[in-house]
Amino acid sequence: MHPMPAFLRSTAATFALLAPALLAPCPALAADAVFFGPTPYLSAADTPDGFASGAMAIEDFEDGSVDSRLVRSTSSITPPGGITDSVDADDGAIDGSGNGGTSLFGASIRIGFTEPLPSAAGMVWTDGAAADVTFEAFGPDGQSLGSVGPVPLGDGSISGTTAEDRFFGARHAGGISAIAFTSAAVMEIDHVQYDAAGAVEPAIASTLEDGNLALLLPTPDGNLPSPAQTALALPVDARPHGLAFLGARSALFSDFAQPRLFRVALDDAGTVQTIALSGRSNGNGSLAVEPHGMYALSIGESNGAERVGEAVVLNFSVDPPLVTPMPAGLRVRGFVTAAIDFAPDRRAFVCHVNGVSVLRPPYTAIDIALPFPPVLASPSMCRLTRDGTRLFVTRMLSETEPTVNAIRTTAAPFSAASTFVEIPAPPDVQGLGPMAVSPDGQALIVGQQFLLPPAFAGARARAFIVRAPFDENATWTEIELPPGVNGSSCSDDGAVDDCPGFEHIEVSADGSLAILTGNSSSELAGAADAVPAVFVRNPFDDATRSAVAVQLAPEAGTPGRGAGGVRFRPARIFGDGFE
């Protein structure tokens, strides 16, 4: 889990005020149940370390409804207003007020879960008259797993103050059937968190130039090498490229050739909203959604002989979403789908041709320009560790000689004075592009995308595990890939496009599955086509790692992994898709 960012931490005075709650009796333990809290909570980034169990869902009530997997006791959803006390960040700003969000109001609120039961569940107490509050969790048969409290909560205010908000949670390997707050006073709660329980989270994929399909893989680790796949309905002329989940129930796909996005309802594959990208000439490049699901960033480059940067931010808290230009100079190469990554505190790290820029919500101004070596088409792709404390950067089009053939990394705190350290690649490795970081941040998968100049011959589709320390002492282990992932026309003397590398790599929340895809094309003359993706089980475990070729859309007229990307559903999902 992610620690609370420094800029969100309360002042010493605030902690002094809240000391009675923070010093409450130690939580009770029952069997193998572990309890968390009470801990201050202003946003999802404040979830305690060790609580999360794989992919986590967050019901924040912002859409005025409750997830169908939850069963609640008598209570009512409270919309934004002068006495509403939602989690502070739910209105898009951490400002000491919960008036702009939505919460759940009731007396001694109990939240039950449908099968499969989560192994981690928690919620946030946000308001109530000053009184003792007890948090309790229940096992599969309804038995009590233990409790935390009674804890004195409440600051006497009904105006939506947030310094009193507290997270409580529990983990139990045998499953949690319900959690509850009991108190003599009525209360408001928010941010009910629970794990997805079970298999690897769903994934989406785009197959630009190999059928031009948008795909949903509901159980990507099931029945390999033939996992279930559903083609999502897009307009017949769509060319899906960049992609991202928007909450748990919808996904975004950008059109490589036209200035538009498609918002697809995942529980109703026929429901599609087309969103015009005013300020862009196409939808190429990278598309990413920030952790709270309110904003999406679309950054690429213009059409025409002289290409310039195009960047817009979409605000999904309004319908239709508001499209606003981003700072000039942010140019991402059109074929790069992973140039944007987000820290838990919602800062966006953008790798563009002129360097690395850091932006904060609402993403209309550059906050920090990180000092990156000025080389051709540098950099290409950005990846952060999950706690947001380390950044990795690749520069695939500038890796033309050993002196620049490296991954570069820098660690927090990030500033204009940050220093990048080189992780040199082996002598025969070049054109590094896509990356994905292990859950613990101690290793990453990196793949070759192109080989330049032509003197470099051999398979482009290669992938490696790189382990800490992240400097010249890092260790590189090549992943043994299955046959057929290079394409039928690949040879040592083939053209660049004949031997496709990888364009996008993603890792599941628990690190048990990696998917490598992109850089296949049935439309480009002489290029390899219908090339399968690669699914790697246990990618970071040298003893049990195994890779299989998985054909995307095998029943389609033109199958293949395409020149697009892949995304797993985020480890933290807000129930309605935005805050």
pLDDT at position 69: 77
Banded model confidence at residue 379, pLDDT cuts 50, 70, 90: low
- pLDDT at residue 340 is higher than 90: yes
Q: What percent of the chain has pLDDT over 90?
A: 57
pLDDT at position 25: 33
Which is higher by pLDDT, 113 or 458?
Answer: 113
17 and 113 assigned to the same domain: yes
Which is higher by pLDDT, 23 or 282?
Answer: 282
| Residue range(s) defining the domain that contains residue 248 | 203-574
- pLDDT at residue 245 is higher than 70: yes
Weakest-pLDDT range from 55-64, 130-139, 277-286, 330-339? 55-64
Among 195, 213, 247, the domain boundary falls at 195
158 and 238 assigned to the same domain: no
Those residues whose C-beta lies under 8 Å from the C-beta of residue 543, and which sit 6 or more positions away, are none
Weakest-pLDDT range from 259-273, 361-375, 383-397, 447-461? 447-461
Which is higher by pLDDT, 317 or 443?
Answer: 443
Q: What are phi and psi of 456, to 5 degrees?
A: -85, 115
Weakest-pLDDT range from 27-31, 134-138, 338-342, 456-460? 27-31
Both tokens of residue 231? 């083609």
Banded model confidence at residue 145, pLDDT cuts 50, 70, 90: very high
Distance CA 48, CA 146 (A): 18
Those residues whose C-beta lies under 8 Å from the C-beta of residue 225, and which sit 6 or more positions away, are 535, 548, 549, 550, 551
Q: How is residue 20 annotated by DSSP?
A: H
182 and 257 assigned to the same domain: no
Weakest-pLDDT range from 167-171, 275-279, 339-343, 350-354? 350-354
| Backbone angle region of 522, left / alpha / beta, with phi > 0 → left and psi within -120 to 50 → alpha | alpha
Both tokens of residue 488? 């039928």
- pLDDT at residue 422 is higher than 80: yes
- pLDDT at residue 300 is higher than 80: yes
- pLDDT at residue 205 is higher than 70: yes
Among 168, 195, 222, the domain boundary falls at 195
Q: Counting Cβ atoms within 10 Å, is residue 132 exposed (0-12), middle (13-18) or buried (19+)?
A: middle
Which is higher by pLDDT, 266 or 124?
Answer: 124
467 and 526 assigned to the same domain: yes
In a domain, 83, yes or no: yes
| Average confidence (pLDDT) over 428-439 | 89
Q: What percent of the chain has pLDDT over 70?
A: 84
Which one, of 270, 275, 381, lies nearest residue 336 by Cα?
Answer: 381
- pLDDT at residue 488 is higher than 70: no
Which is higher by pLDDT, 350 or 375?
Answer: 350
Domain CATH number, residue 139:
2.60.120
pLDDT at position 35: 96
| Average confidence (pLDDT) over 239-261 | 94
Distance CA 205, CA 210 (A): 12
- pLDDT at residue 269 is higher than 70: no
190 and 268 assigned to the same domain: no
In a domain, 34, yes or no: yes
pLDDT at position 374: 66
Banded model confidence at residue 380, pLDDT cuts 50, 70, 90: confident
| Average confidence (pLDDT) over 176-198 | 88
Q: How far is CA 274 from the centre of its chain?
A: 23
Q: How is residue 82 annotated by DSSP?
A: T
Residues 499-547 have pLDDT tens digits of 678 999 999 988 989 999 988 888 766 555 778 999 999 999 998 899 9
In a domain, 550, yes or no: yes
Which is higher by pLDDT, 147 or 14?
Answer: 147
pLDDT at position 125: 95
Among 171, 195, 219, the domain boundary falls at 195
Which is higher by pLDDT, 231 or 19?
Answer: 231
In a domain, 528, yes or no: yes
Strand segments (E) across 144-294 = 144-153, 166-171, 178-183, 186-195, 203-206, 214-217, 230-232, 240-246, 250-255, 260-265, 272-276, 286-289
pLDDT at position 199: 60
pLDDT at position 23: 34
| Average confidence (pLDDT) over 64-74 | 83
In a domain, 174, yes or no: yes
Per residue, what are the HEC states of 119-143? CEEEEEEEEECCEEEEEEEECCCCC
220 and 82 assigned to the same domain: no
182 and 294 assigned to the same domain: no
234 and 116 assigned to the same domain: no
This prediction's pTM:
0.72
110 and 127 assigned to the same domain: yes
Residues 150-182 have pLDDT tens digits of 999 988 888 889 999 999 999 998 889 999 999
412 and 469 assigned to the same domain: yes
pLDDT at position 555: 87
Which is higher by pLDDT, 431 or 316?
Answer: 316
In a domain, 579, yes or no: no
163 and 262 assigned to the same domain: no
**Mean of all residue pLDDT scores within the chain:** 84
Which is higher by pLDDT, 450 or 367?
Answer: 367
In a domain, 1, yes or no: no
Which is higher by pLDDT, 305 or 27?
Answer: 305
171 and 275 assigned to the same domain: no
Q: What is the tally of structural domains in the chain?
A: 2
pLDDT at position 29: 39
